[in-house]
Amino acid sequence: MAETPDIEVVVFDVLGTMVDEPGGLRAAVREAVPDADDAAADRLLAVWHEYVAHEQDRIREGRRSYAGTDVIDREAAHRVADRAGVADPAAVERLATAGRRLPPWEDSQTGLARIARRFPVLGLSNAGRAVLPRLNQFAGLRWHQALSAEDSRAYKPAPEVYQLALDAAGCPADRVLMVAAHAWDLRGAQATGMRTAYVQRPAGDPPAPGDTFDLRTQDLEELATALATG
């Protein structure tokens, strides 16, 4: 494990890193479509994920004007509802806001609190401005500052999103540590000069053989210990 001397600020990805996004969305799909078996729920969840990824790619490539996650999630919810034959407006509306009710991983609250005792901690999420505070409240995540990619009108890994964190940190990029369960996210942070820490999660994007992140840990407790002794 590499050392991370001179770190001043720690920045965390939220979706997938601090909260169980796939699990929370799967639960919302099962609630909207209670008759769906596991296989059907997984297919509907795939419809959601594929739509969101496609639309965010279109925005990154300039083929669609920026739209926040509240808009894209609502579109995805209607797509899932149409596929599943859900016509109840209340059920569709609750599904559309599922991104506000994603459960934290078991170590998220305690690990974040340990790290926050030593460093300013920032959340940096693709979740929109209207979604992020409600998600943080639901998951019990306490930040010194929470930043939405919506303020840059872009989605990670666009460099302007990481610049939001660097501007808030107010220190050189090599003194800012980006923490994520997604290797693609950490590569984006590296491109702006940030230090990086990969945290393993069940639904993350693991590092490729050529990735050279500063830290690789099994969970946030291990990360907190590494930062306390680094």
Q: What are phi and psi of 154, to 5 degrees?
A: -155, 170
Residue 121 sits at φ, ψ, to 5 deg, of -120, 130
Q: Three-state SS for 112?
A: helix
* Apex 140 CA angle, 202 and 100, nearest 5: 75
Is the confidence at residue 229, as pLDDT, over 90?
no
Residue 202 exposed, middle or buried by CB count within 10 Å (0-12, 13-18, 19+): exposed
Which amino acid, one-letter code, is at 30? R
Q: Identify the DSSP state of 19.
A: B
Q: What is the pLDDT of residues 51-101, one digit of tens each?
A: 999 999 999 999 999 999 999 999 999 999 999 999 999 999 999 999 999
pLDDT tens by residue, 118-170 = 999 999 999 999 999 999 999 999 999 999 999 999 999 999 999 999 999 99
For β-strands 121-125 and 9-12, DSSP reports them as: parallel
**Per-residue pLDDT at 3 exceeds 80:** no
Q: Please state the rounded mean pLDDT for residues 35-56.
A: 95
**pLDDT band for position 5 (cuts 50, 70, 90):** low
Q: Which residues, 6+ apart, have CB-to-CB distance to 96 below 8 Å?
A: 73, 74, 77, 78
Q: What is the pLDDT of residue 101?
A: 97
pLDDT score for 204: 85
Contact 69, 129 (CB under 8 A): no
Q: With 90 as the cut, is the pLDDT of residue 48 above it? A: yes
End-to-end CA distance of the chain: 10
The predicted structure's pLDDT at residue 1: 46
- What pLDDT is recorded for position 203? 86
Ranges for all domains in the chain classified under CATH 1.10.150: 21-100
pLDDT, residue 4, reads 59
Please check the confidence at residue 2 and state whether its pLDDT lies above 60: no
- Residue with tokens 């019990």, as numbered in its chain: 140
Higher pLDDT, 5 or 79: 79
The rounded mean pLDDT for the chain is: 96
Q: Could you give the residue range(s) of every CATH 3.40.50.1000 domain in the chain? A: 9-20+102-229
% pLDDT > 70, the chain: 97
> How is residue 76 annotated by DSSP?
H
Nearest to 53 by CA among 206, 210, 205: 205
Q: Say which residues have a Cβ less than 8 Å from residue 8's Cβ, sequence separation at least 6.
A: 119, 120, 169, 171, 175, 176
Alpha-carbon distance 170 to 156, whole Å?
A: 20
Q: Give the CATH fold of the 21-100 domain.
A: DNA polymerase; domain 1 (1.10.150)
Class of domain 9-20+102-229: alpha beta
